Structure 1
Amino acid sequence: MNIIGRNVKAAREKNEWTQEQLAAKCNLLGWNISRSTLAKIESRVRRITDIEVKTLSLALNTGIELLFKD
């Protein structure tokens, strides 16, 4: 359903963060997301909006283009 889930997980693991930690960082940026929703994004089960992609890139401290990289 989404094409960035695998890269979100890879970036999170590169930072050595848990899903809970990434969800907390997103919450601080104004996106109320739970760990279970993040897990659905990473497993490519949940769709993701453009603003959510932007928030994830900010939380992960990475460029949006890297989230879409094959």
Structure 2
Amino acid sequence: MRIYRCSNGLCNTSGRQIRAEREKCGLSQEQLAAKVQLNGLNLNQKSISRIETGERIVTDYELIQFAKALDVTVYNLLNIREP
């Protein structure tokens, strides 16, 4: 599968917002990884780091689990106004 990067060189558009929301919740990357693991998503701290820095893509089902773990909407993580 070919991975396309945004014009800014990142593999995702949600990583920065995931980091901001994680920090707002006072969670470490390790703690966020544990929360999503409890929901059945097998991610570790290294994966969270790579997502936040834009080095790794984020799938739709991962984005949903991040939203649940951080108690925000997917729209928020994509930095889009809700319709």
Structure 2 length normalisation: TM-score? 0.82
Paired residue for 2:51, among 41, 53, 57? 41
Of 23, 28, 34, 1:18 maps to 28
Q: What is the identity, as a one-letter code, of the residue corresponding to 2:58?
A: I
Q: Any unmatched runs of 5+ in structure 2?
A: 1-10
Q: 2:74 aligns to what? A: 64
Q: Partners in 1 of 2:61 and 2:27 — Cα distance?
A: 22
Compare CA radii of gyration and give the structure with the larger one: 2
Residue identity (%): 37
Higher-RCO chain (CA-CA 8 Å, sequence separation at least 6): 1
Mapped to 1, the partners of 2:67 and 2:19 lie a distance apart of: 12
Structure 1 unaligned segments of length 5 or more: list them: none
Q: In the aligned structure 2, how far is the partner of 1:41 from the partner of 1:27?
A: 15
Alpha-carbon RMSD: 0.8
